[in-house]
Amino acid sequence: MLRCVFLATLLLLLAGVPRPVGALTTGGSSDPIDQYQADFKRKNLGPALGIDQSKVERLLQIDRKYKSLKRQAIQKARMSLQQLNRVMRQPKPSEQEVRGILGNMMRIRREKLALEQRQLEEEKTVLTPMQQTRHILLLMNMRQQIAKEAQKVRQSPRGVPLPVKPGPREVPVSRPGGRY
């Protein structure tokens, strides 16, 4: 069961489908994938881009701000799609109503694209062009890793636990004149 939930969450992330909007209003995210991404970025952005931790935190702050706004736009689009489905199931759907819903969907899509553009512009103030390029490549790599993990979950037989990657080994530290 937990495996199915994990798979569904990964697939939703890859598809860009939002989680409930109520979860977005909290300061931190309780979504494990969001937490994974934030941890991945916090750990890897500095070394990959050659930036200090304050810039990493600024990028994470920008990302959180726009992720929430984009998810809200996606939620609106999803509700419009549901509304369109309801209208189209009627025996004689109103062309005016369909046109209005389609117009709303296009407006929401433009809003989401504008949010993505504003996010890129805001990140541009923090990063040089070379760092921006490395940032994009790192994010693409992260998405590919998530997709691979989702594929592993889909392909593994039910009831068989997924292998857990071992954490860092503990290495004994020797102190001169003392125990370790």
User: Cα separations (Å) of 57 from 14, 39, 60?
Assistant: 24, 11, 5
Q: Is residue 28 part of a domain?
A: yes
Count of the separate structural domains present in the chain: 1
Q: Is residue 107 part of a domain?
A: yes
Asked if the model's pLDDT at residue 81 lies above 60, the reply is yes
pLDDT tens string 45-66:
899 999 999 999 999 999 999 9
Q: Is residue 101 part of a domain?
A: yes
Q: Which two tokens stand for residue 115?
A: 């949010």
Q: Is residue 175 part of a domain?
A: no
Domain that holds residue 25: 2-155
- The whole-angstrom separation of Cα 147 and Cα 156 is 14
Q: Which two tokens stand for residue 173?
A: 């530290």
Q: Is residue 77 part of a domain?
A: yes
- The whole-angstrom separation of Cα 135 and Cα 86 is 41
Range name among 11-15, 46-50, 70-74, 151-155 with the lowest pLDDT average: 11-15
Q: Is residue 139 part of a domain?
A: yes
